[in-house]
Structure 1
Amino acid sequence: MQQYRQRRSLAQLGLISTFLMLGACKFGSSGGGSDAPPPASYKATIERTTYGIPHITADNFAGAGYGHGYAIAEDNLCVLADAFLTFRGERSRYFGPDEPASLMSTFGSPPNLEADFFFRFVVDDQQVEKFKDAQSEDVRDLLHGFTAGYNRYVTEIQDGGHAGRHADCRNQEWLMTVTEDDLMRRLVGLNLAASSANWVQEIASAQPPAIGAATMRSRSAPQELNIDPERFKLGRKEGIGSNTFAFGSDTTESGESLLFANPHWFHLGIDRFYQIHMTIPGKLDISGASIMGSPMIQMGFNDNIAWAHTVSTAYRFTLYQLQLANGDPTRYIQDGQEKALEATEITVQVKQADGSLAPASRTLYRSAYGPMINLAGMGLPGWSDQAAFTLRDINLENTRAFENFFAWNQAESLTDFYDITRQYVGIPWVNTTAIGRGDDRALYSDITAVPNVPDSMLPGCLAQPYGPIVLQLVPGLPLLDGSRTECDWRTDGDSRQPGAFGPSKLPSLLTNDYVANMNDSYWLSNPEQPLTGFNGIIGRENYQQTLRTRMGHTLVRERLAGTDGLNGHLASSENIRDIVLNSRVYSAELLKDEVLASVCDAGAPDTEQQACQILASWNNTGEIDAVGAHIWTAFWMNIDLAPGQSLYATPFDAADPVNTPAGLSSNTSVQEAVRSAFSSAVAELVDANIPLNAKLGEVQFFLKPGKQIPQYGGEGEEGYFTVLRNTYMHVVDFPEGEPVRAYTFLSNSQSTDPASPHYADYTEAYADKNWHRVPFTREQIEAERISSIDISE
């Protein structure tokens, strides 16, 4: 079974280990039929180089998609098959209603039945047609080709080919060919990763009360809300994010720009990255990574531009509170007029304990804004006969995302890349950094699809009484009054879709200095050139940054000051590849000495004195051979302060956001919390039989069949820049007079099939910090080629 278990409590050995059980699991897909155009001619050459990276060469976009679809199926058939089943809403038919619908994905792990109802409802045939119709002919050709290539490999498996491969799904009844609609459902689902797909169960379970049911609690006495701000993050938790640096010509040794991409993403499941290179002579030559099932590159480079992404802080949806009509909870009042909710009855087939199928039906509802949503789990009132909640999703209306990525794949300069960004405003939920050949500048951009809810709109449009409370607990997220159309999203003169901010209202920065983002807002893309004056739904300004953000800017500042122990004082491909994997722990650099002075005394138990001695000698890194890193992690995760208390002596100062807050507070209760956390951490390690003097690589590792591969790094909340969820990475520059130069990693390796030779090889390279210079030119590919096939139909 494929498993990813992040140890999050020491009782479960959680604070010190990450396991990636990259083995086999039960995956599946069903399908059948075809909505593709009349049969076309597809042909492609697939050459593989070191670590199994496929280089696809074709004469047209259909052929490029064909090669991509075939290659990724060869590497990841069972994961893809499982995903197509999920997005089509047929998991319960084959696996029953209760099993988790996903193992690590942007939409979480809801029960199969809830996932089925969600995807049948939100990503329905009407949505699929709307998105398909909005795509250009070239993008449609890419989709057609990808579908045909995937189906070719499925057919070869079903005909007995590729013996020994994909044992978990090759003989299952649900392994079938798919349609272009299936592929589009996957893409729309990816579009919704930071919005509707974050609320699968809440949308699938939203049901009206029976007529005459108990009314909503009094509006004058709101109950206490149980809202965790982390719940609103992509993936519903901290840690799904990224790091990126982009250096302009003033900050590099070569005088040419330089880019570092470092997504912290999923090691398992459909949302993991896949590294690929696609070439159409004279039209396309793009290398990088796609999120599995996407035919175009999401993060990559060609011979003229390179780009990276990090998850943005902007919200991609808003909640609306509806005023319901008297006597009918399926009708609502807007501008004094009654409107009916749109009812959709959905029936799915559900596998029973005896293997038979039985139908399960549910009626789900939409307002004019979007699907109804059940927020009772957060303490908000449930759907009553007076009020209910609905969600409007900017990315259910954003059909431009795939065209935006596709155009970037063909960009010829940084200026071209930036113009495309502003033309489409289609990127759904990530910041972008980019550089271009011969261009002195580095780009930061959060020019993305964002609901046009300016701060000036909030005083008159927050729903009462809960809107102000939600906004305080989740800064930037408005709960709006749905009873008045004056509280609908605004539209600017340059908006690319109704209800979205235009590019002039969104943050971006072009500079010869550097830009960086570590999942805090746009504000400190460059601390010397802060971006300010934007609306709260996009992100916060003048606020305390995470330790990972502070570590990232510290790494750059020390490099540019020449104080990091390396030669020189500017960035280069070589020193950035070293710096970003050095596993420094910013919390330890800030506080370790003061913590030890507080907790280490002669009266402490022997085990705590031993821990003190180990930490005193520890080098404050999470390198594989570091001794003491796991003790610090355990301590840091055990700190539990009372509300309103600060761990630090020097408070946050917006004028010095990289260096503050700082120092350990001398407050008595804070000191007691620190001593308690240290004692608890040591006790839990001892109870778990984890040696205090263990090397980090002995307790933190990737697990592969028959081996464990040590893993360095840690969690961003401790101040690690080198995090455990590192996945695809690249460092790219454009040496003068030479082809693009890119060093890459795919830490989870190319294939999810244990029978593949590329199931663990890239993981081992990552563990050894053996950056791979990926071949790009024809000569480089031929020199490193390990296989080549021609396919056509």
Structure 2
Amino acid sequence: MQQYMQRGSLAQLGLISTFLVLGACKFGGSGGGSDSPPPAGYKATIERTTYGVPHITADNLGGAGYGHGYAIAEDNLCVLADAFLTFRGERSQYFGPDEPASPMSTFGSPPNLEADFFFRFVVDDQQVSKFKNAQSDDVRELLRGFTAGYNRYVNEIQDGQHAGRHTDCRNQEWLTSVTEDDLMRRLVGLNLAASSANWVEEIASAQPPAIGATTLRSRSAPRELDIDPERFKLGRKNGIGSNTFAFGSDATETGESLLFANPHWYHLGIDRFYQVHMTVPGKLDISGAAIMGSPMIQMGFNDDIAWAHTVSTAYRFTLYQLQLANGDPTRYIQDGQEKSLEATEITIQVKQDDGSLAPASRTLYRSVYGPMINLAGMGLPGWNEQIAFTLRDINLENTRSFENFFAWNQAESLSDFYDITRQYVGIPWVNTTAIGRDDERALYSDITAVPNVPDSMLADCLAPGLGPVVIQLVPGLPLLDGTRSACDWRTDPDSKQPGAFGPGKLPSLFSTDYVANMNDSYWLSNPEQPLTGFDGIIGRENYPQTLRTRMGHTLVRERLTGTDGLNGHQASSENIRDIVLNSRVYSAELLKDEVLASVCDAGAPDIEQQACQILGNWNNTGEVDAVGAHIWTAFWVKLQDLELDMDLYATPFDAADPINTPAGLSTSGAVQDAIRGVFSDAVAELVEADIPLNAKLGDIQFFLKPGEQISQYGGEGEEGYFTVLRNTYMHVVDFPEDEPVRAYTFLSNSQSTDPTSPHYADYTEAYAAKNWHRVPFTRAQIEAERISSIDISE
């Protein structure tokens, strides 16, 4: 079974943060009929090149989708089948109520029953119909073709073809054909990754108290809230994000722009990337990565433009506090009038221990803003007779995301790309960087779907009592007063949907130097051209940057000043491919020498003296042959648990020098004592776990496949690694003069989740060896590297 081990036991030491077993899990899905008119017919050619990358050529968009759907099913049938089951809310019927719904995804791993209620409630038929009907004919054609291609492969498996493939799902009753609605459910679920889908169990469990029940909490703020700001991020934890650099003509050796894309995304499950190239002559010629189940490219390039994404800091939802009517917790007061919550009764068929099915029913509720949500687990009041909480989600109302991505797939210049961005404002939760052929500029943009809650609203519209507390703990996230429609989201003259910011109030930057993002806010996309004056719900300004952000900007600055030990002082495809995998550890570069001076005195125990010697000789990288990296990781993880934050440093943060500050180790007695205690504990824990202090990192940190370990370099962003363990799809793209687009790529988790596929681990091995792949794009390049070709039609 594929696994991705998070920090726990040894993983708490950060030693085996990525522990990938490249195998297959038990997956599921059930079927439906067709909800669209019979197609006139589909046909496509699927040519595979190195690492199994499919290049799909078709006469029309339906054919391109058809080829994509077939190819991805050939590589990842069981993962897709499992996902379609999840998004239909039918997992409990086949797997029972308690099993986790996903090995790893944007919606977490809730119990099956909670996932079923969530998706049946939030991504219901009405929501799917709204999204589907809002799509253009071109996008609908692509969706229908993808559905038909997927179904063709399912039918072939069920007819006994492809012997030996996809053994975990090929003979299961839940492997059936799917519908266009099933595919749209998948896309809507993806749209909600940074909003409603982050709160599956909280929405699925939101229930009113029995009428007349005793109220246990008052409307006043509790003394202490158990709110972790990380809980509000996509994926509910630090680490899901990305790096990107985009260089303009002033910063490159060729005088042409250059782009680096580096998502830190999911290695497992439905939300992993799939690399694909689709061509419809005269209409589409796009290569890159699609999040699995999406028929269009989310991050890629054509012969004129290239783009990358990082997870944005903007919030995509707000919470509202409702005042409930006396005696009825399903009615609330707004503008002095009583309103009823909308009740939806849902019944799920649940597999019992004896294999029989039994119904489970639940009534879930919506306010005028959206689904009710249970936040009692964070120390907030539960739904009682006085107050309750509800969530409004910008991306439940944003039907433009897929149109925006598809239009980018067809963009013909950087200016065209930027105009599309402003036309749709449909991107749901990511920053964008982009470059274009014959354009000297690099673009950064967070022109995305953001709730229009300007800072000017907050003084009057934060919920009484709790609102100021929440926004202090989670800067930028307002808990709004739901008793007054005056606190509804605003709408600008250029808003693309009611309640969203228009593009004129969202950050973007063109530069002929460079732009970058490492999941901090828009503020320092280029430190020499800071973006300021935007509302807090979009992001913060003048605040300490993460160590990964500082490492990223340091890598660029050293390159552009020629102080990184490489030739020249400008960026090139070759040196950027080298730099971004160098696994430098910024926390060690900042503080290791001072830490060792603090802990390595003559009176230290022998085992600590040994650790000191190893760290003193360590080269401050997480390369596979680095000796000492794991000791530093064990120390740094424990140090972060103390939450010293700025007290750790001698030189405080300076907004005028945000890349170089804070710096230096504090000499205060409390910090020095903490450093010594943490170091002793870290060394002792490694010894107790039987992990040699002199181990090479690649011997204890690796991908796994049956019978083989694939050593893994890099580490966690919180240590200041730019080369992060969660690297997934990567590309370095430029446009050499008078030549076709040039792209070097990786897909670190490989194309297929089926252990019997030849493309199950080959790309992983290439990534581990740092063998960038120049992916073919032109007809001649594809033919020169082709390893297989099939024609399919129906």
Q: Which secondary structure does the structure 1 equivalent of 2:710 belong to? A: strand
Q: Which amino acid aligns with 2:737?
A: E
Answer yes or no: is 1:146 the counterpart of 2:143.
no
TM-superposition CA deviations, 1:383-406 (whole Å, max 9, x none): 011110000000000000000000
Answer yes or no: is 1:383 the counterpart of 2:377.
no
* Structure 2 match to 1:96: 96
- Are 1:222 and 1:465, in contact at CA under 8 Å, matched by a contact in 2? no
Q: Which amino acid aligns with 1:383?
A: W
Q: Which amino acid aligns with 2:781?
A: Q
* Structure 2 match to 1:576: 576
Change in CA separation of 1:597 and 1:644 when aligned onto 2, cut-off 3 Å: closer
* Structure 1 match to 2:775: 774
Q: CA deviation at 1:642?
A: 5.9
Matches of 2:76 and 2:109, distance apart in 1: 20
* Structure 2 match to 1:29: 29
Q: CA deviation at 1:603?
A: 1.1
Matches of 1:654 and 1:65, distance apart in 2: 48
Q: Which secondary structure does the structure 1 equivalent of 2:348 belong to? A: strand
Change in CA separation of 1:269 and 1:642 when aligned onto 2, cut-off 3 Å: closer
TM-superposition CA deviations, 1:238-268 (whole Å, max 9, x none): 0000000000000000000000000000000
Q: CA deviation at 1:646?
A: 1.3
* Structure 2 match to 1:202: 202
Q: Which amino acid aligns with 2:755?
A: P
Q: CA deviation at 1:14?
A: 4.6
Q: CA deviation at 1:7?
A: 3.6
* Structure 2 match to 1:704: 705
* Structure 1 match to 2:658: 657
Matches of 2:276 and 2:452, distance apart in 1: 36
Q: CA deviation at 1:423?
A: 0.1
Structural mapping, 1:550-565, within 5 Å:
550-565=550-565
Q: Which amino acid aligns with 2:263?
A: P
- Are 1:67 and 1:149, in contact at CA under 8 Å, matched by a contact in 2? yes
Matches of 1:113 and 1:93, distance apart in 2: 9
Matches of 1:719 and 1:13, distance apart in 2: 15
Q: CA deviation at 1:99?
A: 0.3
Answer yes or no: is 1:87 the counterpart of 2:83.
no
Matches of 2:171 and 2:292, distance apart in 1: 22
* Structure 2 match to 1:162: 162
- Are 1:399 and 1:426, in contact at CA under 8 Å, matched by a contact in 2? yes
Matches of 2:515 and 2:678, distance apart in 1: 36
Structural mapping, 1:246-285, within 5 Å:
246-285=246-285
- Are 1:216 and 1:386, in contact at CA under 8 Å, matched by a contact in 2? no
Q: CA deviation at 1:726?
A: 0.1
Q: Which amino acid aligns with 1:676?
A: G
Q: Which secondary structure does the structure 1 equivalent of 2:760 belong to? A: coil
TM-superposition CA deviations, 1:74-96 (whole Å, max 9, x none): 00000000000000000000000
Answer yes or no: is 1:670 the counterpart of 2:671.
yes
Moved more, 331-340 or 215-224: 215-224
Q: CA deviation at 1:38?
A: 2.1
Question: What is the root-mean-square deviation of aligned Cα atoms in Å?
Answer: 0.9
- Are 1:11 and 1:684, in contact at CA under 8 Å, matched by a contact in 2? no
* Structure 2 match to 1:740: 741
Q: Which amino acid aligns with 1:371?
A: P
Matches of 1:608 and 1:746, distance apart in 2: 39
TM-score (norm 2): 0.99
Q: Which secondary structure does the structure 1 equivalent of 2:647 belong to? A: coil
Q: Which secondary structure does the structure 2 equivalent of 1:646 belong to? A: helix
Identical aligned pairs, as a percentage? 88
- Are 2:249 and 2:440, in contact at CA under 8 Å, matched by a contact in 1? yes
Q: CA deviation at 1:351?
A: 0.1
* Structure 2 match to 1:310: 310
- Are 2:494 and 2:503, in contact at CA under 8 Å, matched by a contact in 1? yes
- Are 1:16 and 1:634, in contact at CA under 8 Å, matched by a contact in 2? no
Matches of 1:13 and 1:387, distance apart in 2: 42
* Structure 2 match to 1:519: 519
Q: CA deviation at 1:217?
A: 2.6
Matches of 1:729 and 1:37, distance apart in 2: 38
* Structure 1 match to 2:357: 357
- Are 2:204 and 2:364, in contact at CA under 8 Å, matched by a contact in 1? yes
Matches of 1:39 and 1:285, distance apart in 2: 23
Matches of 1:439 and 1:467, distance apart in 2: 46
Matches of 2:32 and 2:523, distance apart in 1: 49
Structural mapping, 1:533-544, within 5 Å:
533-544=533-544
- Are 2:12 and 2:637, in contact at CA under 8 Å, matched by a contact in 1? no
Q: Which amino acid aligns with 2:169?
A: C
Q: CA deviation at 1:622?
A: 0.2
Answer yes or no: is 1:132 the counterpart of 2:132.
yes
- Are 1:98 and 1:113, in contact at CA under 8 Å, matched by a contact in 2? yes
Matches of 2:644 and 2:727, distance apart in 1: 32
Structural mapping, 1:516-665, within 5 Å:
516-639=516-639, 640-641=641-642, 646-665=647-666
Change in CA separation of 1:613 and 1:573 when aligned onto 2, cut-off 3 Å: same
* Structure 1 match to 2:115: 115
* Structure 2 match to 1:789: 790
Q: Which secondary structure does the structure 1 equivalent of 2:184 belong to? A: helix
* Structure 2 match to 1:460: 460
Q: Which amino acid aligns with 1:429?
A: W
- Are 2:15 and 2:701, in contact at CA under 8 Å, matched by a contact in 1? no
Matches of 2:240 and 2:11, distance apart in 1: 24
* Structure 1 match to 2:295: 295
Q: CA deviation at 1:8?
A: 4.4
Matches of 2:214 and 2:336, distance apart in 1: 24
Change in CA separation of 1:443 and 1:645 when aligned onto 2, cut-off 3 Å: closer
Q: CA deviation at 1:219?
A: 3.1
* Structure 2 match to 1:759: 760
Q: Which secondary structure does the structure 2 equivalent of 1:791 belong to? A: strand
Give the aligned length.
793
Moved more, 197-206 or 222-231: 222-231
Matches of 1:527 and 1:34, distance apart in 2: 53
Matches of 1:318 and 1:246, distance apart in 2: 32
Q: CA deviation at 1:2?
A: 1.5
Q: Which secondary structure does the structure 2 equivalent of 1:331 belong to? A: strand
Matches of 2:148 and 2:601, distance apart in 1: 69
- Are 2:263 and 2:728, in contact at CA under 8 Å, matched by a contact in 1? yes
Q: CA deviation at 1:11?
A: 7.4
Q: CA deviation at 1:422?
A: 0.1
Q: Which amino acid aligns with 1:751?
A: S
Q: CA deviation at 1:21?
A: 1.1
TM-superposition CA deviations, 1:460-495 (whole Å, max 9, x none): 000011000000000000000001000000000000
- Are 2:13 and 2:637, in contact at CA under 8 Å, matched by a contact in 1? no
Q: Which amino acid aligns with 2:562?
A: G
Change in CA separation of 1:368 and 1:337 when aligned onto 2, cut-off 3 Å: same
Change in CA separation of 1:506 and 1:20 when aligned onto 2, cut-off 3 Å: same
* Structure 2 match to 1:175: 175
Q: Which secondary structure does the structure 2 equivalent of 1:6 belong to? A: coil
Q: CA deviation at 1:39?
A: 3.1
* Structure 1 match to 2:326: 326
- Are 2:18 and 2:726, in contact at CA under 8 Å, matched by a contact in 1? no
Matches of 2:128 and 2:11, distance apart in 1: 46
Change in CA separation of 1:269 and 1:528 when aligned onto 2, cut-off 3 Å: same
Q: CA deviation at 1:220?
A: 4.0
Q: CA deviation at 1:16?
A: 4.2
Matches of 1:573 and 1:11, distance apart in 2: 34
Answer yes or no: is 1:749 the counterpart of 2:750.
yes
Matches of 1:73 and 1:351, distance apart in 2: 27
- Are 1:192 and 1:395, in contact at CA under 8 Å, matched by a contact in 2? yes
- Are 1:216 and 1:387, in contact at CA under 8 Å, matched by a contact in 2? no
- Are 1:100 and 1:111, in contact at CA under 8 Å, matched by a contact in 2? yes
TM-score (norm 1): 0.99
Q: CA deviation at 1:213?
A: 1.5
Matches of 1:486 and 1:78, distance apart in 2: 48
User: Which 5+ residue runs of structure 2 have no aligned equivalent?
Assistant: none
User: Which 5+ residue runs of structure 1 have no aligned equivalent?
Assistant: none
Matches of 1:642 and 1:149, distance apart in 2: 51
Q: Which secondary structure does the structure 2 equivalent of 1:499 belong to? A: coil
Q: Which amino acid aligns with 2:718?
A: E
- Are 1:521 and 1:541, in contact at CA under 8 Å, matched by a contact in 2? yes
